[in-house]
Structure 1
Amino acid sequence: MPVLVSNLQEEIPVEDNLYQLVEAVVMESLKAEGYSTEAEVGLIFVDDGYIQSLNAEYRGIDKPTDVLSFAMHEGEPMPEEEEAEDLLGDIVISLPTALRQSKEYGHSFEREVAFLTAHGALHLLGYDHQTEAERQVMREKEEAILGRLNITR
């Protein structure tokens, strides 16, 4: 299966429908960008402490965040990558942060997790939001992905 979902936290109960939702969002993100739906993506649900340690280690920001993406295709390609499986990368989502944000933004927890999944998948596909123009492009793509899956506010 191209989307491998793991739950490494115990704070927020995770039902089967959430696993199915994030798999659908990743697959729709890949399709929307013309990327192979055979690409392997890891999606990991964690708590705030776990994501804070990753954020500190990899971004130098010692506080929790909502989502982190770790792309496998950054930098110069290795010659043997041509033959290997297409490992796109990992998306790490803090479910406690997603729950807080869903309440803050006034929509469902599932919608927030779906949004964070689309955001993370777009990062794996090379998108970023360092400038306002990049942020706008990502936001439009995120909303289009969710819209095609009928995930509304």
Structure 2
Amino acid sequence: MRLEIDFIDETGELTEAQFRLLEELLSVAAEIEQVNSGSELSITFVDNNRIQEINREYRDKDQPTDVISFAMEELGEGEIEIQGEDLPRILGDIIISIPRTKEQSLEYGHSFDRELGFLTVHGFLHLLGYDHETPEEETVMFSKQKEILDAYGLTR
């Protein structure tokens, strides 16, 4: 399953090996979720100040967070769905805080790469419409995250 992924590392901290890990992990996730080949998404890696700005502007929460997703397939009020057989599926954008990723990897006692992979899968599932607002949704989404991470072999 081939995804078109645009990586934007505003921090300059990630390696080519980490980008490859995320590409492979998302390929497994796309296969499990039966996402069409050629679907597109972007992942931007930022610092805490930048993610706090985004969180404040789009979610009215004035604090840094670990990951934010903007799904392109969720229509807002007054938006019209663009349709066409030959158009690629554009999933949306994932934004990940590298400092929070580091903090959480230490807090949870696993590697930075495992936390980075977890946050990437978490954001990806949000792009596909998964959520965790209710206990039922959380159970479904978190079990899906575990299934994908385990299938790839990125465990704690």
| Bin of the TM-score, shorter chain as denominator length | over 0.9
- Asked if the contact 1:39–1:87 (Cα under 8 Å) also holds between the matched residues in 2, the reply is yes
The within-5 A match list for 1:7-86 is 7-10=9-12, 13-75=13-75, 78=80, 80-82=82-84, 83-86=86-89
Matches of 1:59 and 1:81, distance apart in 2? 28
When normalised by structure 1's length, the TM-score is 0.93
Give the corresponding residue for 1:6.
8
Identity, % of aligned pairs?
A: 41
RMSD of equivalent CA atoms = 1.5
Query: Normalized against structure 2, the TM-score is what?
Result: 0.91
1:151 aligns with 2:151: no
SS in 1 for 2:83: helix
User: What secondary structure is seen at the aligned counterpart in 2 of 1:81?
Assistant: coil
> Is the deviation greater in 89-98 or in 14-23?
14-23
> Matched residue pairs, number?
151
List structure 1 segments (4+ residues) > 6 angstroms apart after TM superposition.
none
Is the counterpart of residue 137 in structure 1 residue 140 in structure 2? yes
Which residue identity is paired with 2:5? Answer: V
- Unaligned 5+ runs, structure 2: none
Q: Which residue of 125, 130, 137 corresponds with 1:127?
A: 130
Distance 2:115 2:53 in 1: 22
